[in-house]
């Protein structure tokens, strides 16, 4: 018998990620067995927690969309354990795709290729003729994929619109009672979803920024295009999911483009209007801010520490007794591009500048 606590039908398996041959442990074998039988299971990856289903089984994939409340025109990323499986799933691994596989897989990157017809449930690809494939490097994700032996479609394991989960607790907060089980492998590392790269052409195109940066990709393949929609709201994004509001905290979030002194001026201005203010900020800026509540999110000197704790901070802000949340913008260099992409969506694109301060 596998040890696990049954919570309203959702099993929580706690696993030790340092165990050798994790794929042979009873917890992973049971979770893989459920996957193969058409159930959905949440599991940790190095980016965020994923909600997995057998990508070849439409009934199973449908359960992902139902549990998340995800729009059906938003395709899912397919996860595999080994790049050798790629040729059974895609029409052609293009030369740039091959270079990116060799440089970054396994790792936090999803690569889009023309799909092989008749392999995936149509729900996975939302009717597109392409498919996004990812080879995660997290030991639990690898073990589950290896034990299941099927390609696993897995979006982030949150209710649609909410911040992505970076711990099993976040998954349980959103999906307890709606899914078969959650494998708890501790906090995720990077904390932001994978970089999504269209590899169908000669030059790769970044459709969603992530921890593998445009510069890192450029270094490998020489040239990279960033989807113009990531910079210009008026452009239609090439990744269908990028058009939706995401990561929204319960209280309205405003970004402040400026210094911590400018942020403090906005705190004071909102307070004069009788509002209670929560501020999400870094360790370095904490002492400079006087607000009703402050959440500290990583260090200014290390953008990856901010990526790691961004979603946890947004989720923590939901329980604050405040009316409005404020956060400074971050430099859009390296992983800062992904952080600002997620923060802008979380804020519904509300960015305050000096010009918005009442005279
Ligand atoms: P999530 O599953 O929430 O991490 O989101 C996956 C992202 O990848 C969404 O923005 C999708 O729209 C995008 N995506 C997945 N498959 C494709 C594809 N074949 N073409 C373009 N974008 C895709
Ligand atoms: Mg998501």
**DSSP-derived secondary structure for 47-113:** SSEEEEEETT-HHHHHHHHHHHT--TTSPPEEE-S-GGGHHHHBS---HHHHHHHHHH-SSSEEEEE
Q: What is the pLDDT of residues 204-225, one digit of tens each?
A: 999 999 999 999 999 999 999 9
Tell me what the mean pLDDT of segment 345-350 comes to. 94
pTM, full prediction: 0.95
| Confidence label for 232 from pLDDT (cuts 50, 70 and 90) | confident
- pLDDT at residue 2, rounded to an integer: 44
Nearest-CA residue for atom 22 of ligand 1: 239
Q: Which atom of ligand 1 is nearest to the CA of 164?
A: 3
Is the per-residue pLDDT at 1 higher than 80? no
User: Strand pairing partners for 293?
Assistant: 278
Q: Which atom of ligand 1 is nearest to the CA of 240?
A: 12
Q: Which ligand has its closest atom nearest to the C-alpha of 90?
A: 1
Q: All domains of the chain, ordered by start, with CATH?
A: 3-196 (3.90.870.10), 253-356 (3.40.50.11030)
Q: What is the pLDDT of residues 84-120, one digit of tens each?
A: 999 999 999 999 999 999 999 999 999 999 999 999 9
- pLDDT at residue 359, rounded to an integer: 65
- Cα–Cα dist 244/161, whole Å: 8
Q: What is the pLDDT of residues 119-160, one digit of tens each?
A: 999 999 999 999 999 999 999 999 999 999 999 999 999 999
User: Strand pairing partners for 134?
Assistant: 79, 110
Q: What is the pLDDT of residues 299-324, one digit of tens each?
A: 999 999 999 999 999 999 999 999 99
Q: Which of 45, 207, 238, 246 to mutate to test the pocket of ligand 1 (most atoms within 8 A of CB)?
A: 207
User: Residues annotated as binding site?
Assistant: 47, 70, 74, 79, 130, 134, 154, 156, 164, 194, 208, 247
- Residue 159 has phi, psi (to 5 degrees) of -65, 140
The pair of structure tokens assigned to 26 is: 């009873």
The CA 260 to ligand 2 mean position distance, Å, reads 30
**DSSP summary character for residue 209:** -
- pLDDT at residue 5, rounded to an integer: 44
- Cα–Cα dist 265/354, whole Å: 9
């Amino acid at each position: 018998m596998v040890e696990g606590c049954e919570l309203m039908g959702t099993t929580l398996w706690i696993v030790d990620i340092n165990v050798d041959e994790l794929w042979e442990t009873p917890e992973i074998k049971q979770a893989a067995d459920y996957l193969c039988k058409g159930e959905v299971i949440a599991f940790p990856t190095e980016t965020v927690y994923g909600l997995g289903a057998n990508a070849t089984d439409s009934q199973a994939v449908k359960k992902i969309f139902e549990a998340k409340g995800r729009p059906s025109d938003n395709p899912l990323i397919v996860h595999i354990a080994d790049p050798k499986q790629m040729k059974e799933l895609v029409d052609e691994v293009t030369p740039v795709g091959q270079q990116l596989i060799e440089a970054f897989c396994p790792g936090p990157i999803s690569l889009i290729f023309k799909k092989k017809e008749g392999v995936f449930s149509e729900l996975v690809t939302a009717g597109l003729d392409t498919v996004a494939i990812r080879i995660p490097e997290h030991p639990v994700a690898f073990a589950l994929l290896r034990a299941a032996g099927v390609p696993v479609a897995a979006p982030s394991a949150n209710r649609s619109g909410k911040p992505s989960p970076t711990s099993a607790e976040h998954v349980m907060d959103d999906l307890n009672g709606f899914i078969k089980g959650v494998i708890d492998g501790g906090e995720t590392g990077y904390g932001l979803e994978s970089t999504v790269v269209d590899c169908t052409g000669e030059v790769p195109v970044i459709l969603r920024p992530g921890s593998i940066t445009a510069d890192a990709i450029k270094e490998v393949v020489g040239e990279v295009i960033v989807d113009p929609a990531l910079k210009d709201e008026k452009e239609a994004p090439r990744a269908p999911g990028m058009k939706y509001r995401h990561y929204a905290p319960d209280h309205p979030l405003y970004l402040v483009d400026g210094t911590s002194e400018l942020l403090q001026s906005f705190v004071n201005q909102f307070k004069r209007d009788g509002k209670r203010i929560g501020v999400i900020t870094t360790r370095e800026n904490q002492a400079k801010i006087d607000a009703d509540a402050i959440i500290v999110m990583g260090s200014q000197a290390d953008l990856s520490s901010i990526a790691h704790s961004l979603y946890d901070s947004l989720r923590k802000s939901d329980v604050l007794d405040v009316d409005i949340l404020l956060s400074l913008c971050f430099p859009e260099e390296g992983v800062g591009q992904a952080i600002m992409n997620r923060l802008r969506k979380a804020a519904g694109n509300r960015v305050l500048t000096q010009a918005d301060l009442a005279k």
